[in-house]
Amino acid sequence: MAILPIIWAPDPILKTRCAKISEVDAEIRRLMDDMLETMYAAPGVGLAAPQVGVTRRVVVVDCARADEEPRPIRMANPELLTVSEDEAINEEGCLSLPSHYADVIRPAGAKILYLDETGVSRVIKTEGLLATCIQHEIDHLNGILFVDHISALKRNMIFKKMVKAKRERHLESAD
């Protein structure tokens, strides 16, 4: 397994609509495992393939609490089948926008269809953090970031700070 570098916004890769997986093969399973290792190291509760530079529809999540056993979920081609009518406001963060947080309104629950790591089609009913997290990850596969759900003013403030943070990260790696 390997820890992969995480792409920071703004970056055109994070705005790309990702391609469907035609078959969950060994290469995709390897990508899922590397993404999980990268996510746990960050640490984060979810990660989408475009965040590690791969524009394909692959997502990993683990929303288990710290006092629970890990519950990794590997997904290819995740889709929202249905969403609940009731909404929830949650403070979201993103590994591609480090140290920026904002309240986002989304459906509180969702039924998700995906292919697991063996290529078997599964449906899960989600609520709470898992529902929020999977919707955030599916957004990534469609080139959408959580800041696209907030005001343009707040979004532009965050992007300006990210441009500066990226410049400083590049200067660091240069010396």
With a CB cutoff of 8 Å and minimum separation 6, the contacts of 111 are: 80, 81, 82, 83, 123, 124, 125, 126
Residue choice 4, 58, 60, 95 for contact with ligand GNR (CB under 6 A) = 95
Q: Residues 95, 60: contact at Cβ < 8 Å? A: no
What is the closest distance, in whole angstroms, from the C-beta atom of residue 20 to ligand GNR in the complex? Answer: 19
Q: Residues 81, 113: contact at Cβ < 8 Å? A: yes
* 74 belongs to the binding site for ligand GNR (CB under 6 A): no
Interface of this chain with Ni ion, residues 87 to 106, rule: CB under 5 A: 94
Q: Which is nearer to ligand GNR, 93 or 143 (CB)?
A: 93
How far from chain centre, in Å, is Cα 68?
21
Using CB atoms within 10 Å of the CB of residue 14, give its burial: 0 to 12 exposed, 13 to 18 middle, 19+ buried: buried
Interface with ligand GNR by CB under 6 A: which range of 16-24, 25-33, 65-73, 130-138?
130-138
Active-site residue, selected from the candidate residues 23, 137, 168, 172 = 137
What is the closest distance, in whole angstroms, from the C-beta atom of residue 139 to Ni ion in the complex? Answer: 8
Q: How far apart are CA 134 and CA 151, in angstroms?
A: 22
In the residue annotation, 172 being an active-site residue is answered as: no
Q: Which is nearer to ligand GNR, 25 or 105 (CB)?
A: 105
- Per partner kind, with CB cut-offs from 5 to 8 A, the member of ligand GNR, Ni ion, none near residue 38 is none
- Per partner kind, with CB cut-offs from 5 to 8 A, the member of Ni ion, ligand GNR, none near residue 47 is ligand GNR
Q: How far apart are CA 60 and CA 134, in angstroms?
A: 9
The residues annotated as belonging to the active site are 137
Residues in the site for Ni ion, rule: CB under 5 A? 94
